[in-house]
Amino acid sequence: MQRIVNRLISLALINVVMLSLVLFPSSTRASVTALRSYGYRVGSQYDYTWSMDVTTSGTSQNQTGKTTQTRLSRIVGSVTIIPLGPKDDGSMVLEALASDIRAFTTNTEGVLIEATEVPSTTIHPELPFYFAQNPSGRVTMVLLNTEESRESANFKRGIVSLFQMQLSGPAESLAEDDSSGVYEAQYRTTDQATTVTITKDRTQQNYQVFADSSIAAHGSSAPSSALGVPATSRAENLAISDKSTAVFDRNERVLRSVAVTSSVAGTTDGYSGEGVAMTSAASLKGILTLQSISPRAGRAFPTFPATATTNDVITAIQTFRRVTLASSSMAGVVADLTPPTDEVATLDEALAVLSAQPDDLAATSTLRETLQANVNRLSELDMALLNGTVAPVLYSGIIVALSGVSHPQAQSILLYRFMANSALDVAVRNRALMAVVGISVPTSELIQGVQRLSESGPLSEQATLILGALATNVEPSRPQDAAQIVTVLKGRLATAQTPETIILALDALGNAGPLVELSVITPYLNNSAFEVRKSALDALRGYPYEQIASTINQVLVSPDHALRAEATAIAAASGVILPLDDSAVNAQPGEYHKEWQNFIGGGDVKGELLANLHFWPNDPFNPGWMSTESHMKARFWSQTVSVARAKAWSYMTSATATTRYYRAQFYLLGFKVYDFNKTLPCQSSTSGNMFNESLTFFHLEQTIFVYGIPITLEALASASVTVPWTIGVTNCSNPLHAQAWGNITPQVKTYVEGSASVDLAVFRAGIGVGAELFDTSLSMNAMVLAALAPNPGLGLSINVTGHFEPINAHIFIFYQWRTFKCKKKLFGVCVWPTFPWGTKHYTDLWNYHGPAYDWTIINFNN
């Protein structure tokens, strides 16, 4: 009997245990068995501490070695998580409250100093925020108070991002979003007896959408701009590495700790060649640690049923807390990086800096920042130019600065105060016209102004070329305006009667690139005039190669070797290398071709120099053919910008003629902007300057959120370019002893600046690298001896030298604090406090001044 009683008692105990597993809440079950899903306990509160260290760094490498400087910024605090209850999708709604927030940064001596006050108007620690997390760990909802500032909202999104660590399989790719954007994270988990180790990795290639919408995700398409770079930035231009390692407590069913390490940089490559290599980057280390689990505080909390929708939850909390909430994306909101007016130099201060050094590109950068900061500064400048109170010596620097300002009024000033101002010297007007080539989004007003200039007057030919460039620039934002420009240029081509007017229209359409139907261009490849055929071929340079491949192949089998060489160059620029047995790349009897290439610097920014010389005196179509070309490119992260390209060619007008034809052309940012031709008799020469201008040609900003902290990478470049050239011929009355020569000396000076900065709400801090990437002249001299008639024998003298001025570089830090200001007082008490940004401080940490030297690149005699 006793045995039966014992069996009944045992069965009853088993039933009680089984029933408890079904009926008891998860908090009770956890003591029975360790589970693998999040299970916050309603009625408890979870207290965490967290800290984030952000290190921004700048590196410069030169012939004497490598220099790296860093600065540290830190923010620490606590966050309390209080579960309110489940909602309809099974996720737990959590109330979060940040507290004990402290911020630090390093001063110029490298000492960590604390922000003495964290303004409540900035981070709003007193405002709770809410998020929902499902049993796997993914965050499904974020609710923020509508009174949150942008900085505060981003900061709280970052805290939520820390808690999102999903319980996956041993190795799994999971979609999620956080303050940085939408991505596929690579998860790995390892189960222990009482814990689960969760590891999450991601790089720039894992993102589908970035919080900074100007960055196109890896592999997605983005329109190209006139600068040879995408109109939006690309993930390929970034190097992002993020790793989070969490310890999940299987008994408490919450995160015990999370450690994160992240780095953000421009895509960099190693140092190569002469000059200065630049790298700017930022890295972050953070930790979230559970301090305690305790019964929640005695104050009351909002409630709602387990069937509540997101709207029901919002209504319940709003009614109970008497606040206004909004459902928010996890993604951070990128700030307008235009600095407030009180942060930058006044117009008078900026003009004074420029007046002291009118040709200094760094001084023009100061003026650009001043004009970008506030449209009122642009109005002040406009009025000063109108009243004639600005010294003409400053015009060049002002034009450079205006070309880098995004506001439409800057374009109006360029148009009405410079380009269309007939009282100014033509050279100044032309300088402003050239500068608009770098404007990525030209206004309709600017386009119409350039079109008027192209119709007549001393700038008509130049304006016609620029009009084609503006079509390319405006097409991504306003394709209808681009189409209208192309229609105008096609009409001019159709009515052109002489070879030179045909060439001008073809060159302008070539600047518009693939916006023009190929059928408009290709008929001119069969024109009777060689120069027309050559311009038609050059007009194809901007088309995708697959669209022009058949046309290029037809040219490659033509008998005209000069055109075959041009077609080969177009193919090579598109990455198409012709087979070595192709006649287009094989030297003909008596033909000489020399090429040279070198890189300057590396890191975030490097320069590339290319030159070539080509002679074929026995060319049956163009006797005594001689051509020379130089090309200077700047590489920013993974992007390449053609800064300056100059070329010239010359040939006898016939095998027995006593005159020689010369043509010189210049390309700026990939656009043809200069074309000169002349026929010279014996014993004469001519010279000119293809280009002598300055402009801002590159400005890129990218913001990446790392757990709510915005890290911004920025690159800015300005250049001054001058390309003097001289060509001549002697003794051409005796072809067997005639000599022809040419000299092109491109001189390019480029000022570049790269920086990495962090915004921790109460201060902004960062580090940057500035350098003169190019301060270079490339002198190319060539002489053809006794070689201008077919098969008379050949002698060549070729000399190419490079001259490099001292390259200056520096690494600097910059920072600014929020300051207290009172907009309104009542009875001596401040009733309207504000915390605007104070003055931005710059301090050089390191400077470098390199040597000047000459470099013999080619010295060839035969």
Q: What's 214's DSSP letter?
A: T
**Under a CB-based contact definition with an 8 Å cutoff, are residues 577 and 547 in contact?**
no
| CA count, 13 A, side-chain hemisphere, 553 | 8
513: left (phi over 0), alpha (psi -120 to 50) or beta: left
The confidence score (pLDDT) of residue 581 equals 39
Do the beta carbons of residue 375 and residue 341 sit within 8 Å? no
How far is residue 752's CA from residue 759's CA, in Å, rounded to a whole number?
23
Strands 625-636 and 639-652, bridge-based pairing: antiparallel
pLDDT given for residue 27 in this prediction: 37
d(Cα 776, Cα 854) in Å, to the nearest integer? 10
Alpha helices, H only, 539-609: 545-556, 561-573
The contacts of residue 697 (CB under 8 Å, 6+ apart) are 227, 438, 641, 643, 669, 717, 718, 719
Question: Do the beta carbons of residue 45 and residue 80 sit within 8 Å?
Answer: yes
Residue whose structure tokens are 């931005």:
840
Instruction: Return the HEC string of 21-32.
Output: HHHCCHHHHCCC
| Upper half-sphere CA count for residue 101 (Cβ side, 13 Å) | 21
The helix (H) or strand (E) run that includes residue 232 is: none
Strand 739-744 versus strand 92-106 pairing type: unpaired
Q: Which residues of the chain have pLDDT under 50?
A: 1-33, 222-231, 580-585, 736, 786-794
Tokens of 348: 């008078």
Place of tokens 């029901």: 312
Gyration radius (Cα) of the chain, Å: 34
Measured N-to-C along each axis, helices 444-455 and 479-495 cross at an angle, to the nearest 10 degrees, of: 10
Residues pairing with 182 in the sheet: 177, 209
Residue 144 · residue 330 · CB < 8 Å: no
Identify the three-state secondary structure at position 684: strand
Give the relative orientation of helices 479-495 and 460-474 as an angle to the nearest 10 degrees: 140
Burial class of residue 81 (count of CB atoms within 10 Å of its CB; 0-12, 13-18, 19+): buried
Element (H, E) at 314: helix 310-321
Strand partners, 853: 804
Q: What is the pLDDT of residue 133?
A: 97
d(CA 419, CA 412) in angstroms, rounded, equals 10
Tokens 């700038």 belong to: 459
- How far is the first Cα of the chain from the last one, in angstroms, to the nearest whole number? 122
